[in-house]
A and B are shown apart, each in its own frame.
Chain A
Amino acid sequence: MKMNLQKIAMGLGLSIALVACSKDEETIVVPVSAITVKDLAADTVTGLGLDGRPQSALTTTYYSLVDNKAIASTDAASTKWDIAFSSTKILINGGTSGPGIGGAFVHIGSFDTFTSIPADSIFKTDNANAASYAIPLGSGKAWYTYDGLTTLVSPIAGRVLVIRTATGKYAKIEIISYYKGGVTLPSTASVNDKLFKQRYYTFRYAYQPNGSKTF
């Protein structure tokens, strides 16, 4: 409760400041509240191949931050979605991934205290041809680390995915877990659990519908 009050107070403070210095635009900044999405399946595992690698249908789960709902993959070529997940890969609707004007960058800091996007921030877009993504792939690169011994994927603490949506609005995301149930499995979890409970995203996000860069 205290946290929420603080957040609201901070949001109000910011909004007052913004209102004060941008009188003519008449934008009213409303503090946005964080929404938690639980256990979003993203190319879940169907079995183990003979080569020892997890097998899956190689699907991508598209998600609209605007509407807080999953979007059918038949709409992949639209601007209905803002962010998409496929195992550890996270795509934005822009560049080679979609027709939108989406972009992203990874901010190091805490989700709660990241309340405005600095003016000089550079949003990157996806370029699959150069294996370069707005949210870089790989362990330790953007939002997770992979431990080869425990075979677990853990979200890195203090990573905020700052998103420009398909239509040019802004959102921030913190990935909480990659496993079904919303908590990273313990290292002692069974091989089966590690295999089949992975690729379920739990994350919280804040979306600013008014187009401003503050949350």
Chain B
Amino acid sequence: MKKIPCLLFFLILLQSANLFAQSRFVKDTLDVSGDSVVVTATRTERKLSNLTVPVTIINAKTIQQNGSLRLTDILKEQTGINLTSGFGAGIQLQGLNPDYTIILINGEPLVGRTAGVLDLNRIALGNIKKIEIVKGPSSSLYGSEAMAGVINIITDASMGAPLTIGLRYGTYNTVDANLETKLQTKHFQYQGFLNSYLTDGYSIRPNSNSRVRTPIERYSTTQQIKWDLSSKTNFVLNTRYTNEQIQNEIAVTNNGVTIYSIGKENIKDFNASASLNHRFSKNLKTSLRTYTTTYDAVQNLLTINGLPYRDVLNHNFKRIENQTDWDLSKNLQAVFGMGAVWEGVKSSRYDSEKLRKQNDIQYAFTQWEWKPSEKLTLIGGLRFDQNTQFASAYSPKLSMLYKLNPQHQFRFSIGQGFKAPDFRQLFLDFTNAAAGSYSVFGAAQAQQVIARLDALGQIGNLFPNYYLLKALKPEYSNGMHFTWDWKINSSSVMSVQLFRNDIKNLIESQQVGTYISGAQIFSYINIGRAFTTGFEVEGQHRFNANWSINGGYQYLRTGDKDQIAAIKSGTVYTKNSQGYSRLMKLNEYVGLPNTSTHKLQVKLNYNSPKGYYLNLRAIYRSRWAVNNNNGNEVFDNGDVFASGYVAINSAAGKSFKNGVSIQGGIDNISNYIDATNLPNLPGRTFYTSIKYELQQNKN
């Protein structure tokens, strides 16, 4: 019995610890309480009930029973998360844009953002063990981008069937096929996963021959190796590769003449991480990790009578990191980490697609966890990031957990998050010949480029902004989260969370001057200030052994602080229906675009001991502002809104004892369509799938 905690400690090895958690031994030990283990919140393995910050866990069973294929499918059914469209499907967490949530796969960041958005349709869910969502600034552990929170996708390692085959077919000829193999010996574990996703895409816009969702062929594979070199040392290797082909037919009709063009896009996404983990003693362990990832996108547009257009983006990110966990005493545990990042981007939108723009980052972090009593846990963390291309950032965070009694516990956290200026904001060198010949220059070189143009006599005017261009600072957010968990009885739980994020130094494009011709020149400047605030309520109730219900609601308010100040000072006007201006009142202000005041989702579950299951999920999102059409740059009731909507999804299935499981489902049962604002929501779709798991030899 004594051996168990000792071994357990050994097995708790940092990020890669999630792989260990799979091993039957650990899982059984920790799962006795029915309490999940979370790695993302503290970068160490902790039980969910011992965390000081709010975390949501989505497990494999939920993903599978919901019939979710891509990461977006499952995230949109979570409290406080909305999907965004434009530059792929991103997510908005507690009202903050996709730029502000870091997406990790097994603890390593994904790269390849377009205009700040990571397209989460890239991520297949077939082999995912669980998804952990940490809400609130987490830059104290993860650095840039972890402003709104962290989403960590943890792939299934070595538990389960040696061979799994899955096939799904659905509306729009969408075929999703999975193959997963697992090998285990005493000291060695291997998992390989192959996924192919093919779809014809769809057109939900009437009389349009261009498709909202384009035909896609996507293949991805992940490989995992875990090797125990000794009882104290192990090695973990993870690789992931995705290759996707998108074909887009565009038709532009002009003067009765239709110009057809074909766009072809190829995206390759590769990640590899290796970690060496060693435990020196019961109280001290360390991990050395390396990670490399490349995102490569090539877009070719071939028009019949126009010029060919080519857009290239190649983003690479390499990191080496060490993390050491030291338990000073039973009540005091410390984490130390440091690392270096080499990040580079080549793009045809920069001065030359052959030249790689580089940013190097060095960082160090520490986190101290102190448990003065059984009821109270306090965690303090600090991270420092130093960059070659922009100002350094300190990210502190304090959080606490107070367990009043077995029924009630309270968490409070306050922290600062940051988002480094991205490569586009630093290095963009883009002149749009088609629309007024305006130019956008990244802040890191704008002064240089403009000075060169000035010497050639091309610059008309320079604005005062131009002289502020030099040091682009990271965007900062101060976040506060307060959570109350209430275990009402053995079959009901609920939690209430209040949150507020204050963001400053928002990077926005601003005109800095004009050409002689009057055409505009833009660059990026830290100017904006904004906030998001609100509350979330989540609850779960079990009616009996078979039926249960769970749900969540988010109330959200957002705003641009400068706009609010302008409205208060009486300098913002709005237009009436005749197009006449009048002064705008503060109560007409609706906040940031694309944010909804209400989001609600409810899920009804049925699970029988015989392996039958059924679920019915409803998601409601209230209206959100999309376009400013009354000419005042701020969003008010007179602007264009996407209407609120309800989407209802359902899935049912059965798992047989011989390893076969079948599933059928309908998404968007009420066939809600809004082609303009919800391009990622097709009409009603049907699917059916079959899965076979090779049964393990029971001896």
Show the binding face of A for B, using Cβ within 8 Å.
Answer: 47-48, 50-53, 108-112, 130-132, 137-140, 144-148, 150-152, 154-159, 174, 176-177, 182-184, 186-188, 191-192, 195, 202, 204
Give the residue among B255, B515, B581 with the most A Cβ atoms within 10 A.
B581
Decide: B581 and A159 in contact? CB cutoff 8 A.
yes
Measured CA separation A202–B578 after assembly (Å): 11
Decide: B255 and A131 in contact? CB cutoff 8 A.
no
Decide: B571 and A187 in contact? CB cutoff 8 A.
no
B5 at the A/B interface (Cβ < 8 Å)?
A: no
**Given A186-B640, A188-B676: A158 in contact with B583 (beta carbons within 8 A):** yes
B243 at the A/B interface (Cβ < 8 Å)?
A: no
Decide: A191 and B252 in contact? CB cutoff 8 A.
yes
Decide: B580 and A131 in contact? CB cutoff 8 A.
no
| Nearest CB on A from B66, distance (A) | 32
B572 at the A/B interface (Cβ < 8 Å)?
A: yes
Decide: B580 and A112 in contact? CB cutoff 8 A.
yes
B686 at the A/B interface (Cβ < 8 Å)?
A: no
Measured CA separation A146–B640 after assembly (Å): 16
Measured CA separation A140–B463 after assembly (Å): 14
Q: A108-B571, A131-B516, A140-B633 are in contact. List 6 more A-B contacts (CB 8 A).
A: A50-B306, A52-B306, A53-B435, A138-B514, A145-B628, A154-B630
Decide: A157 and B252 in contact? CB cutoff 8 A.
no
- Tell me the chain B residues, 283-317 only, with Cβ under 8 Å from chain A: 305-307
**Given A52-B434, A112-B580, A131-B514: A47 in contact with B254 (beta carbons within 8 A):** yes
Nearest 5 A/B pairs, CB to CB: A158-B573, A176-B579, A157-B573, A52-B434, A157-B632
With a cutoff of 8 Å between Cβ atoms, the chain B residues found around residue A53 in the complex are: 433-435
Measured CA separation A47–B256 after assembly (Å): 10
Measured CA separation A192–B258 after assembly (Å): 11
Decide: A158 and B581 in contact? CB cutoff 8 A.
yes
- Tell me the chain B residues, 220-249 only, with Cβ under 8 Å from chain A: none
With a cutoff of 8 Å between Cβ atoms, the chain B residues found around residue A177 in the complex are: 579
Measured CA separation A45–B305 after assembly (Å): 21
Of the candidates A52, A110, A145, A186, which one forms a contact with B631 in the assembled complex, judged by CB atoms under 8 Å apart?
A145
Decide: A157 and B631 in contact? CB cutoff 8 A.
yes
**Given A52-B434, A154-B631: A110 in contact with B305 (beta carbons within 8 A):** no
Measured CA separation A52–B252 after assembly (Å): 10
Of the candidates A131, A154, A202, which one forms a contact with B517 in the assembled complex, judged by CB atoms under 8 Å apart?
A131
Measured CA separation A50–B255 after assembly (Å): 13
With a cutoff of 8 Å between Cβ atoms, the chain A residues found around residue B579 in the complex are: 155, 176-177, 182-183, 202
Decide: A158 and B572 in contact? CB cutoff 8 A.
yes
With a cutoff of 8 Å between Cβ atoms, the chain B residues found around residue A110 in the complex are: 573, 580-583
Show the binding face of B for A, using Cβ within 8 Å.
Answer: 252-255, 305-307, 433-436, 460-461, 511, 514-518, 520, 571-575, 578-584, 626-633, 640, 676
Decide: A156 and B631 in contact? CB cutoff 8 A.
yes
| Nearest CB on B from A174, distance (A) | 6
Measured CA separation A148–B520 after assembly (Å): 13
Decide: B581 and A138 in contact? CB cutoff 8 A.
no
9 residue pairs from A and B, CB less than 8 Å apart:
A48-B252, A53-B435, A147-B627, A154-B628, A154-B630, A155-B579, A157-B574, A157-B632, A158-B573
**Given A130-B460, A174-B580: A187 in contact with B514 (beta carbons within 8 A):** no
Measured CA separation A195–B255 after assembly (Å): 10
Q: Which residue of A lies closest to B306 (CB)?
A: A50
Give the residue among A138, A152, A158, A188 with the most B Cβ atoms within 10 A.
A158
Measured CA separation A52–B301 after assembly (Å): 14
Of the candidates A109, A112, A131, A154, which one forms a contact with B461 in the assembled complex, judged by CB atoms under 8 Å apart?
A131
Measured CA separation A202–B584 after assembly (Å): 22
| Nearest CB on A from B313, distance (A) | 19
With a cutoff of 8 Å between Cβ atoms, the chain A residues found around residue B305 in the complex are: 50
| Nearest CB on B from A197, distance (A) | 14
Decide: A187 and B640 in contact? CB cutoff 8 A.
yes
Q: Which residue of A lies closest to B518 (CB)?
A: A131
| Nearest CB on B from A52, distance (A) | 4
With a cutoff of 8 Å between Cβ atoms, the chain B residues found around residue A157 in the complex are: 572-575, 581-582, 584, 630-632
Decide: A187 and B676 in contact? CB cutoff 8 A.
yes
With a cutoff of 8 Å between Cβ atoms, the chain B residues found around residue A50 in the complex are: 305-307
Decide: B629 and A152 in contact? CB cutoff 8 A.
yes
Of the candidates A138, A147, A204, which one forms a contact with B518 in the assembled complex, judged by CB atoms under 8 Å apart?
A138
Q: Which residue of A lies closest to B577 (CB)?
A: A183
Decide: B630 and A140 in contact? CB cutoff 8 A.
no
With a cutoff of 8 Å between Cβ atoms, the chain A residues found around residue B573 in the complex are: 108-110, 156-159
Decide: A131 and B434 in contact? CB cutoff 8 A.
no
Decide: A111 and B581 in contact? CB cutoff 8 A.
yes
Of the candidates B436, B518, B580, B640, which one forms a contact with A176 in the assembled complex, judged by CB atoms under 8 Å apart?
B580
Measured CA separation A159–B571 after assembly (Å): 10
| Nearest CB on A from B512, distance (A) | 12
With a cutoff of 8 Å between Cβ atoms, the chain A residues found around residue B583 in the complex are: 110, 158
Q: Which residue of B lies closest to A132 (CB)?
A: B461
Decide: A156 and B632 in contact? CB cutoff 8 A.
yes
Decide: B435 and A51 in contact? CB cutoff 8 A.
no
With a cutoff of 8 Å between Cβ atoms, the chain B residues found around residue A184 in the complex are: 629, 631
With a cutoff of 8 Å between Cβ atoms, the chain B residues found around residue A188 in the complex are: 676
